[in-house]
Every structure is written in structure tokens, then in C-alpha cells.
């Protein structure tokens, strides 16, 4: 047998053994025999590199060095899920689904919510070609070299796979493997890791894939995204994935109604402690793809899925003191400084107290014994106080009267829970917070910067507003550094400006000048002007000067702009410093007007159009874009003002009935295309 043939044969055997071990859990050879075959393959590939396969099983031991992870676009948005914590909230979700679908004829798929790190895997002709992190949902980092080292992820698919396949899932670390890893580090005198989830997330971004291979990562996949068979529902897609040799959880179940769903949740709430890995809840998804499309998305979450979070663990500790943090809007948040305590694998030193009302309701006082939970939030929170302790302070806690940063007297608007520092333009955390918002991914997307680096630039008097970013020079920032502590006080890290870092920062700042006007408007951080509002304002006024000059009546006449938003805009542009900053940003080259897209035609001008069902030639987002390109307006529901309903397959019968009753014109996909052609 030639070396080329032996390499091919060994690769096939090892891929098959990995499949039997990680997917079927039915190994047919010992670990020692597997290692012997792997060593033989490594030796042959070293001797005959021209015959080595990029997806060889030897890649699972790593070796590639990645200095900078390339950012790539997702084929479809990779969104997170909205959360619910009790049965009544879940019932409300179910009722919303029923109302939007206008039918009770739907199924759920229930899956374990693994506490890990989301990943998208892309296969071409059966071979793994790309692995992408969630990132901001629209784009993520290419971590393919590192993901190749995870033994449960096949490099080559089995069976009758499609030419292009995209699947998504969760990378995680088993509890026993995490404990072993920490034991090894402790024995070597190295710092131990906080918890399995953070360790998995940090591991997948290491630059050396051979180091990744030493960490015991695993993966379970939960979604079929791109595939050539559109008839598959979600549950069928999971079963198909198994036939390709992909790891899918056996705990997933199809539920025909809400009661079956709740039974599944209750069962796993009891059984979760017996699992080898951490879960923090259950994910519930509508099974039908057509119904998923009909339900659609909000700006942040799919409307056809939700996460049910199990009741979290509590820790008991002592409240040492209360400090106050100031956010970019000036809102002042009380923070509890605690006697360090272990909670869900993390040492907690701080917890949120939210606002003055919560402090009063809990009657929390310095020195109290308090109960702390994570409750689905990043920073822990105090949920209860031992008020029966005879040693507790007799003095109730008084909320701060002045800003802890600039000593300005705090104000509280009627109907608002938070106290605010009104010193908007001279209070350091507000200024830094606005700059951090300005560079965020959904705003100017200067991803080479971040909270830690902004703090360093501020501390060195190099920036005091977003416009200063566009005046930074290489020699000014090279060599700067600072130690930054996490919000909960559990860890610290050194942030420094090295040569490559500085180059990336300056490139990122320059690239941000091409961001469209609506994102520049959102980046300013005007109160109540989120992404959607910024887009509507940009589409209506077309340029920044038009918005700056608009009076109250003009603003509230814009679609979906209410009095609260209008008042906030007027107050913002009254401030001369804000207007001056905008002129400086314009001088730096930022986009201050909408780049008009030439319409393909005006056949749909003024028409309000509803799109419903599944289509042969277009995905629904593409069809909606086509409508806009011919002057039409997309609307989400049928009313007497609707001009046209484009009906695809599997459209809800109730929607069709409503359209017919109101006399709305109904057309098929092909009829619609004839209209605009």
C-alpha cells in the first residue's frame, strides 16, 4: 500500500472511530489503539505532507497559530433568546404565539439549554470549512483552526449530506473535565479557572490551536440553518444531522402542547444535577419552519423561540458597604460590596442593588446577612435580607444625594426609578460611557477598541468625546497600559497598547467613517434614540441638519416618534457642545446624510404590503427588500389600510380570511413578480 493510500485509509478509520466514540457512544477499539493509529498517521503526514488532508484527524491535536481572528458575516443572524423564569410568563409566550399564528395547531421542540459558547459550523461537500463565533449576531470571529481540535466535531460528514450545510450549537466543557483541568493547574502552581462556561469561551479564542487541543472541549449541535431540503421541520432537521455524524443531544423532545412542554421542564429541573455538563434551563422552539418564518423576529430575538431559565442557586454572605456607579445616561446604580462568596463556580465580590426603591423594599443595610443570586444576569443581585438578625444596624440605608464622581446633586424625574447626575458634559463616567456606546458594534463598530482601552485613553487625557478618536495618532498611544477589573470583581486583566493593537485601532477608526448615517445618529447616544428610532429618523429627515433643526411638532409627525423621543432630541440639540461635536465628526469624514439608493421602479409606490407564508424564489427578507426597492412599504399585519397581501405556501388560513373580509388584494409570488417586472 502506498503512503498516500495508507494516509487515506487511516484518516477514514480515525474519523469513523471518532464518530462511534463521540456521537454513538459505542467505541469498538481502546483509547490506546486509537492513539497508536493517530501516531502512525501523524508520522506519515510529517514524512509525506503533500498527501495530508486539511481535515485530517491529526488536526484535533492543533498546531496552527492565529494572531488575529478574521471577522466574517453570518449567513443568517445568530440571535440570542429572550428569557422567562416561571410558568405564567411561559404561558404568556404561548398565547402570543397562538395569537400571531392565528391557530393553536403548532408543536414545540424542547431542548436543554447548555451553559456554553455558541458556534456556527459550515461544511462544503462534506468537509468542515469554517467555524464562526456568535459575535454581535450579524458577524463573528473565524475560529476554524481551534474548533478542528474538538474531538466530537467531525471534520468530514457521513451519509447522504448536501453540498453546503450550516449547523449551529454550543461548545462547552464537562464538569469532571473542568475539575481535572483545575487540579492540573493547581498542581503546577497556576491560577485555577472560575467556571466551565468562561473557560470554554476563553479557550476557543486562544491563538495557539495546540493549546486549545489540550483543553477538554465538547460540542452539541441544536440547529440546522442551511440545507437543500426546505421541507424539513426543526425536529426532522436534528434527526437528519445525526445521520451525518453530527453530535446532537438525545434529551431533545417533540411536544404537541403546552402541558407536554411543562412536563419536560419539570423533569429536567430535577434531573439537571445528574448531567455531566452545566445547563441553566430549557430552550423551546416552534417546530414548523413555515410557522417560524411567519412569527419572524424582533430586533434582538426570534419570536418563535424562548429560553426557560431554572431557578438559580443562592449564596449567603455579608454586605460590607454600598458604592454607587454612574452610567452613560447619568443613571446612578447602587452596588453592594460583599464578603467574597462562591456562586455557580464564580467568586462573587459585588452585586447589583438596582435603585433606591429596591434598597427600600429589601430594607438592606451595611452589615446585613444577604442572599445573592445570578438570576440570568451577568452581575449578581441581592434578592433577600436576613432582617431578623439582632446585630443588624438600626439605621436604614440612605441613597446617595450627590454624584460619587463629580459631586453634583442628583435628580429624580417624576415616574422614574433611577436618580440621575445632571452634569452630562463634565461627569467622567457619563463621558466614557458615551464613547463606549459610540464605538459599539451596532453603532460605529470600532471593534479594535473596547471599555478597557477607552478608560486608558481617557486616563491619559487623549479623549473627552467621540470626535477626539479621529484625532488620535500612533505615537500618542503606543505603550500605554492599565490593569482593569471585571464588574463583579472576580478577575482582573492587563490592557496594553502594543504595535499591532495600535495599528488595528487606527484602522478601525478609519473604517468607521464608512458607517451609514443612521448608525452615526444611533452612536451619539441620545436618550430614547435606539437603533429602530435612529433608522426612522434618518429615513424621514435624510440628514443630520434636518433633525437638528426640527421642532416638536415636526418630530412627532414622524412615524412612531412620540413626545418623549421628540423632547429628548430637542433637549440634546439645544446643547452647543453637542452640536459642535457633530460638526467635528462631520469634518472628520463621518456620514451625516442618507446615501440615497436608486429605486428599481415605482410600481409599488405608496402601497402597504403584507408578506406571509413560504416562497419558492425568495426568502422573506429578500422579498421585503424587493418591495422597498419598488417604492412599497412593508407592514406586519393586515388592516383596512393594507393594499396587498403576498401569499406563500403554509400561510395561516385566518390571515387569508381576514384579508378577504377586508377586501385586501391577494397575490401569489409569481403574480407579484409580474407586477414589478
**CATH (domain of 279):** 3.30.470.30
In the predicted model, what is the mean pLDDT of the chain? 86
Beta-carbon contacts of residue 381 (< 8 Å; ≥ 6 apart) = 351, 352, 353, 354, 372, 373, 374, 375
* CA-closest candidate to residue 200, choices 233, 178, 220: 178
In the listed set 532, 560, 588, which residue is the last one of a domain according to the structure? 588
Q: Where are the alpha helices (DSSP H) in 512-619?
A: 517-523, 531-541, 544-549, 552-556, 563-574, 576-588
Q: Are 607 and 600 in contact (CB under 8 A)?
A: no
Q: Is 374 a catalytic residue?
A: no
Burial of 99 (0-12, 13-18, 19+ CB in 10 A): exposed
Give the count of domains, the chain.
6
Tell me the per-residue pLDDT of 581-598, one tens digit each, with 9 for 90 and over.
999 999 999 999 988 767
Q: Is residue 584 part of a domain?
A: yes
When pLDDT is cut at 50, 70 and 90, the band that residue 466 belongs to is very high
Q: How far apart are CA 373 and CA 51, in angstroms?
A: 55
Tell me the per-residue pLDDT of 208-267, one tens digit each, with 9 for 90 and over.
777 888 888 999 999 999 888 778 899 999 999 999 999 999 999 999 999 999 999 999
Tell me the per-residue pLDDT of 282-291, one tens digit each, with 9 for 90 and over.
999 999 988 9
170 C-beta neighbours (distance < 10 Å), count: 23
* CA-closest candidate to residue 521, choices 536, 532, 534: 534
227 with 261, same domain? Answer: yes
477 with 570, same domain? Answer: no
Q: In what order do the strands lie in the sheet with 164-173?
A: 127-133, 117-124, 164-173, 217-226
Q: What is the β-pairing status of strands 108-114 and 314-326?
A: unpaired
Q: What is the β-pairing status of strands 633-634 and 608-612?
A: parallel
> Look-up: residue for cell 455579608?
318
| pLDDT score for 338 | 93
Q: Are 252 and 238 in contact (CB under 8 A)?
A: yes
Question: CB-hemisphere CA count at 13 Å for 340?
Answer: 6
| pLDDT score for 512 | 95
* Boundaries of domain holding 319: 314-420
In the listed set 377, 403, 420, which residue is the last one of a domain according to the structure? 420
Confidence check: pLDDT of 652 > 80: no
Q: Are 464 and 449 in contact (CB under 8 A)?
A: no
Cell of 45: 503526514
Q: Is residue 298 part of a domain?
A: yes
Catalytic site residue from 12, 47, 67, 113: 113
Instruction: Give the CATH number, domain containing residue 582.
Output: 1.10.150.20
* C-alpha radius of gyration, the chain, whole number: 28
Q: Point out the least confidently predicted range of 81-85, 363-367, 651-655.
A: 651-655
In the listed set 588, 616, 632, which residue is the last one of a domain according to the structure? 588
| pLDDT score for 66 | 56
Mean pLDDT score, 442-451? 85
Beta-carbon contacts of residue 307 (< 8 Å; ≥ 6 apart) = 81, 82, 83, 84, 113, 281, 282, 283, 284
Tell me the per-residue pLDDT of 55-82, one tens digit each, with 9 for 90 and over.
777 765 544 555 568 888 898 888 888 8
**What b/e string do you get for 304-316 counting C-beta neighbours within 10 Å, with b at 16 or more?**
bbbbbbbebeebe
Instruction: Give the CATH number, domain containing residue 55.
Output: 1.10.287.610
Amino acid at each position: 500500500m502506498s503512503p498516500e493510500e495508507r494516509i487515506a485509509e487511516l484518516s477514514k478509520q480515525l474519523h469513523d472511530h471518532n464518530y462511534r466514540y463521540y456521537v454513538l457512544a459505542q467505541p469498538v477499539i481502546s483509547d490506546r489503539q486509537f492513539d497508536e493509529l493517530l501516531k502512525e498517521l501523524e508520522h506519515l503526514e510529517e514524512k509525506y505532507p503533500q498527501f495530508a488532508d486539511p481535515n485530517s484527524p491529526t488536526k484535533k491535536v492543533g498546531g496552527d497559530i492565529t494572531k488575529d481572528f478574521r471577522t466574517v458575516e453570518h449567513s443568517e443572524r445568530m440571535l440570542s433568546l429572550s428569557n422567562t423564569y416561571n410558568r405564567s410568563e411561559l404561558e404568556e409566550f404561548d398565547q402570543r404565539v397562538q395569537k400571531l399564528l392565528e391557530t393553536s395547531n403548532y408543536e414545540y421542540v424542547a431542548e436543554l439549554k447548555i451553559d456554553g459558547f455558541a458556534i456556527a459550523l459550515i461544511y462544503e461537500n462534506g468537509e468542515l470549512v469554517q467555524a464562526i463565533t456568535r459575535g454581535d449576531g450579524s458577524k463573528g470571529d473565524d475560529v476554524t483552526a481551534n474548533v478542528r481540535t474538538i474531538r466530537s466535531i467531525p471534520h468530514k460528514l457521513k451519509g447522504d449530506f448536501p453540498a453546503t450545510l450550516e449547523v449551529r450549537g454550543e461548545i462547552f466543557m464537562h464538569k469532571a473535565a473542568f475539575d481535572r483541568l483545575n487540579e492540573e493547574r493547581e498542581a503546577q502552581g497556576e491560577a485555577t479557572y472560575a467556571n466551565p462556561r468562561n473557560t470554554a469561551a476563553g479557550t476557543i479564542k486562544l491563538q495557539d490551536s495546540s493549546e486549545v487541543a489540550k483543553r477538554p472541549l465538547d460540542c452539541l449541535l441544536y440547529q440546522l440553518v442551511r440545507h437543500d431540503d426546505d421541507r424539513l421541520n426543526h425536529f426532522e432537521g436534528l434527526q437528519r444531522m445525526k445521520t451525518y455524524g453530527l453530535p446532537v443531544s438525545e434529551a431533545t423532545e417533540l411536544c404537541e402542547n403546552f402541558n407536554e412542554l411543562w412536563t419536560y421542564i419539570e423533569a429536567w429541573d430535577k434531573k439537571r444535577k445528574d448531567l455531566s455538563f452545566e445547563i441553566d434551563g430549557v430552550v423551546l422552539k416552534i417546530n414548523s419552519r413555515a410557522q417560524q418564518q411567519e412569527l419572524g423576529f424582533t430586533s434582538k430575538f426570534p419570536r418563535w423561540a424562548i429560553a426557560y431559565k431554572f431557578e438559580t442557586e443562592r449564596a449567603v454572605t455579608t454586605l460590607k458597604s454600598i458604592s454607587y456607579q454612574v452610567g452613560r445616561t447619568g443613571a446612578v446604580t447602587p452596588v453592594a460590596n460583599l464578603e467574597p462568596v462562591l456562586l455557580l463556580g464564580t467568586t462573587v465580590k459585588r452585586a447589583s442593588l438596582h435603585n433606591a426603591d429596591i434598597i427600600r423594599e429589601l430594607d438592606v443595610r451595611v452589615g446585613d446577612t444577604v442572599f445573592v443570586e445570578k438570576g440570568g444576569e451577568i452581575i449578581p443581585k441581592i434578592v433577600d435580607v436576613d432582617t431578623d438578625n439582632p446585630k443588624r444596624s438600626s439605621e436604614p440605608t440612605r441613597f446617595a444625594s450627590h454624584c460619587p464622581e463629580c459631586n453634583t446633586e442628583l435628580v429624580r424625574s417624576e415616574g422614574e426609578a433611577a436618580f440621575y447626575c445632571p452634569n452630562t458634559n463634565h461627569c467622567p463616567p457619563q463621558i466614557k460611557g458615551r464613547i463606549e456606546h459610540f464605538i459599539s458594534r451596532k453603532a460605529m463598530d470600532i471593534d479594535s477598541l473596547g471599555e478597557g482601552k477607552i478608560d486608558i485613553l481617557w486616563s491619559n487625557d487623549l479623549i473627552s468625546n467621540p470626535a477626539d478618536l479621529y484625532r488620535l495618532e500612533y505615537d500618542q498611544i503606543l505603550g500605554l497600559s492599565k490593569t482593569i477589573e471585571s464588574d463583579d470583581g472576580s478577575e482582573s486583566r492587563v490592557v496594553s497598547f502594543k504595535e499591532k493593537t495600535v495599528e488595528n485601532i487606527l484602522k478601525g477608526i478609519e473604517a468607521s467613517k464608512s458607517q451609514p448615517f443612521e448608525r452615526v445618529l444611533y452612536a451619539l447616544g441620545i436618550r430614547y434614540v435606539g437603533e429602530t428610532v435612529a433608522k426612522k429618523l434618518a429615513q424621514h429627515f435624510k440628514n443630520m441638519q434636518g433633525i437638528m433643526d426640527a421642532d416638536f411638532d415636526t418630530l412627532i409627525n414622524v412615524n412612531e416618534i412620540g413626545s418623549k423621543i421628540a423632547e429628548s432630541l430637542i433637549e440634546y440639540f439645544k446643547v452647543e457642545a453637542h452640536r459642535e461635536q457633530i460638526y467635528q465628526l462631520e469634518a472628520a469624514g463621518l456620514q451625516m446624510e442618507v446615501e440615497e439608493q436608486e429605486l428599481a421602479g415605482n410600481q409599488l409606490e405608496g402601497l402597504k404590503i403584507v408578506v406571509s407564508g413560504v416562497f419558492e424564489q425568495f426568502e422573506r427578507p429578500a422579498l421585503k427588500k424587493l418591495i422597498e426597492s419598488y417604492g412599497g412599504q412593508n407592514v406586519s399585519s393586515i388592516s383596512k389600510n393594507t393594499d396587498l397581501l403576498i401569499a406563500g405556501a403554509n400561510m395561516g388560513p385566518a390571515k387569508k380570511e381576514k384579508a378577504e373580509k377586508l377586501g385586501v388584494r391577494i397575490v401569489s409570488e409569481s403574480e407579484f413578480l409580474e407586477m414589478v417586472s
